[in-house]
Structure 1
Amino acid sequence: MRAELPAVAAQTVASIVVEVPSYTDAFAGEMGRAISRAVQLALGGFLELATTTGGADPSRPIGPALEGAYALGRGEARSGRPMDALLAAYRVGARVAWRHMSDTAVAAGMTAGSLARFAELVFAYIDQLSASSVAGHTDELDSTGRVRRHHLERLGALLLTGRPPHDLVPAAERAGWSPPRTLTAVLLPEGQARGALARLDDRTLQVSDDPPGLDPAADLIVLLVPDAGCGARATLLRTLEGSAAVVGPAREWTAVSASYARALRALRLGLTADGTAALDTESRLTDLVLRADDSALADLRAAALAPLEGLSPAVREKLTVTLRSWLLHHGRREQVAAALFVHPQTVRYRLGQLRELYGDRLEDPQTVLELTLALGAQLPAPTEQDAS
């Protein structure tokens, strides 16, 4: 059998090429010669096993052959092939090798009982080789996956810190990540991330390792969602429905740090969405602009509303809400009354009070601008009970 190893190996390789099409090209040139040597190593390892154990211990590992099978499995993973082809090649190899070896064994006078034990040893050995290759394939995929996840996380961190394109493009290439046209930053509780990722674009980046500017105690992560601008934004918001997400604007992928800064600003300001919807920062631009400098806004509001200072808190609140609604509805009394759940005569009475307090200043464009800015940030919505 040892003398026939080169011939058996050659016939094994020829059969695999015919019966496993995935390997037709793999056996060409130097790679083919290397694989042929590997086949001889595996067959030689089997004969070593058969010689040293006499067929009594088919589970005994043969180091070099099993290491070769492990390396072959890793090579398959690096080539992007699943294990199906390699396992099929093992089955073909076992059949061809057994046919030739059994012929030699019978010709040498091996008894039927010994031949049966020999057959058991052949297939137990093939199982060992297969298991070793599967382990190599799995380990390679795990290792590759970990490395890629590291590169993707690193890319996300660079994007959030606003690094220039000459840093971002190579990082994307290292991660094997195809850049989209835009990215949208989403802040999301870590416990809700898995469900969201399952419904989002596969290219979505996740940054969970201390995103810059986020309080670690907040238990939030950042998702960078590809091409979720314009019409696709509504789809993104529906996908995030029911979550406590804060959604920034869509920006060019290299400028997504601006989207993240917007979402982070909304979070720090304590802006909240209605019901179970995600917070869409695009719908709260007025609040974000007016509250960019809370101290300046407070000073502006105090100056603009100074004429109301001498009133009782209840009256001051009603007149403030009425003044804001009057500004928003351009003085249309019926619309103001509907918005405040009061009678138009009530609106007329309150506006009379406001004109007494402000005088001609309510006709002054600069005063109207200051009042609009001072009252522009969302106030609690009036209710019928409030109106009474």
Structure 2
Amino acid sequence: MAHRDDPQLRLPGPVVSAIRVELPRIADEVVEQIIAEVPAYEDAFSGPMGETIRTAVQVAHGGFLSLVSGRSGGGDVRTLTRSAVDGAYQLGRGEARSGRSTDALLSAYRIGARVSWREFSEQAVALDLEPRVLVSFAELVFAYIDQLSAASVAGHNDESATAGRVLERLLERVVRLLLAGSPEPTVLAAAERAEWVVPTTLTAIIAPEARVAPLLQTLPRRTLASADVAELDAAALLLVPDAHGRRRAAMVRSVAGQGCVIGPPRPWLEARSSYARALRARALGLEGDTEEHLPRLVLTADPEALADLRERALAPLADLRPATRAKLAETLRAWLLHQGRREEVAAALFVHPQTVRYRVGQLREAYGDRLDDPATVLALTLALGVHAEDASVT
């Protein structure tokens, strides 16, 4: 006589035989109850997957009867028949491919356990199975179902992980093609394979690798991500779909303070233009929205040209001592930016207005009437639009 704490159980032959005869009917009952109680399976059993699930139910029942009949390890749940475990694992993989969740799968298992135990116990009671053996029988039924459900969940997780890696590679290929400026048909074919619906615009964001996962939680679902971009060190590229117009401000706020550099929105096939600007801004040590740094980006677009312009525009100060030359250049920059308003220039330079007056006098002595010439003012404004150290020129 079996004890409820004993994992071994061997049912009498007549009980096993009676249950085995009913297996097809019990399997059908399980399937019907799953269809009735789990919405995700409402249409699943009408196609090939339905036959697969019906077969898996019958295999699982057969494996269980092999256990309790003593034909597979004397009824030890830990020695489940290999076909039942493999079937449960493959069922889980199939469910992942079908797009159903593990919640639906586990609900189906719970229903299957309930229906199976009801049918098994009716046969056992009808054949006068002793109560204590019946209790152990119940425990073994539900332990067996737990083992099978665990195998199915493992299959589901493995398939989901594999599918996720494949999809990730396909999406990264879309990124590579966009950055390479590939022809539209090539990119469209790659996007279709990745099941990625093309947007109207894409906006490049260069983000620290450690921030990619949390950022993706706040950005649109179709955002492309790649940590395999040659020019980026410890950073990743995100391509955000349709973050233009009024949506841009919200997107910028969502990534603020994360150490990101945000390029401009561009037509989706021109995403590399957005990336190029973000990359330039990052090289200059800038963060945030590149739209806020346009003057500096323009002025530093050609460093050699800026250096030549700066040298020519500041030639009248070339013979002065370095310290004097630096002070006068700084004053000239502030004077141009504040349109000659002495008080504002003084406040910007943290000096007395008289000091500004003295320095402007020196500048007029050096430049003469050229300080009133629009062409000279334009050249000086461009040359001094950024600080010398910002422009990487001397």
SS at match of 2:265: strand
Instruction: Show the counterpart of 1:347.
Output: 356
Cα drift, residue 113 of structure 1: 4.4
Residue 275 of structure 2 is aligned with which of 223, 237, 260?
Answer: 260
Residue 93 of structure 1 is aligned with which of 112, 123, 130?
Answer: 112
Cα drift, residue 252 of structure 1: 2.1
In the alignment, is residue 184 of structure 1 matched against residue 203 of structure 2?
yes
Please, what is the CA RMSD of the aligned residues? 2.8
Confirm or deny: 8 A CA contact 1:160 1:212 kept in the other structure. no
Offset from partner CA, 1:208-261 (integer Å, 9 cap, x none): 12x1333xxx42222223333444444444434434332222222221211111
Change (3 A) 1:129 1:191: closer
In structure 1, stretches of 5+ residues that fail to align are 273-277, 382-388
- Tell me the amino acid that sits aligned with residue 219 of structure 1: A
Offset from partner CA, 1:46-68 (integer Å, 9 cap, x none): 22222215854233211222222
In the alignment, is residue 360 of structure 1 matched against residue 369 of structure 2?
yes
Change (3 A) 1:339 1:93: closer
The CA distance in 2 between the partners of 1:226 and 1:29, in whole Å, is 36
Give the alignment of 1:109-188 within 5 angstroms.
110-188=129-207
Cα drift, residue 354 of structure 1: 2.2
Confirm or deny: 8 A CA contact 2:226 2:238 kept in the other structure. yes
Instruction: Show the counterpart of 2:13.
Output: none
TM-score normalised over the length of structure 1: 0.84
Cα drift, residue 30 of structure 1: 5.5
Change (3 A) 1:203 1:122: same
The CA distance in 1 between the partners of 2:23 and 2:58, in whole Å, is 6
The CA distance in 1 between the partners of 2:246 and 2:26, in whole Å, is 64
In the alignment, is residue 281 of structure 1 matched against residue 290 of structure 2?
yes
Residue 297 of structure 1 is aligned with which of 306, 312, 315?
Answer: 306
SS at match of 1:59: helix
Residue 14 of structure 1 is aligned with which of 16, 22, 32?
Answer: 32
- Tell me the amino acid that sits aligned with residue 280 of structure 2: R
Cα drift, residue 149 of structure 1: 1.9
Offset from partner CA, 1:320-371 (integer Å, 9 cap, x none): 1222223223334444344334444443333332222222322333222222
SS at match of 1:27: helix
Confirm or deny: 8 A CA contact 1:189 1:219 kept in the other structure. yes
SS at match of 1:242: coil
In the alignment, is residue 69 of structure 1 matched against residue 88 of structure 2?
yes
Cα drift, residue 294 of structure 1: 1.6
Offset from partner CA, 1:239-293 (integer Å, 9 cap, x none): 344343322222222212111111212233x344xxxxx3432222222222222
Instruction: Show the counterpart of 1:37.
Output: 55
Instruction: Show the counterpart of 2:9.
Output: none
The CA distance in 2 between the partners of 1:97 and 1:341, in whole Å, is 86
Residue 237 of structure 2 is aligned with which of 191, 205, 222?
Answer: 222
Aligned length: 371
Change (3 A) 1:10 1:229: closer
Change (3 A) 1:378 1:279: farther
TM-score normalised over the length of structure 2: 0.83
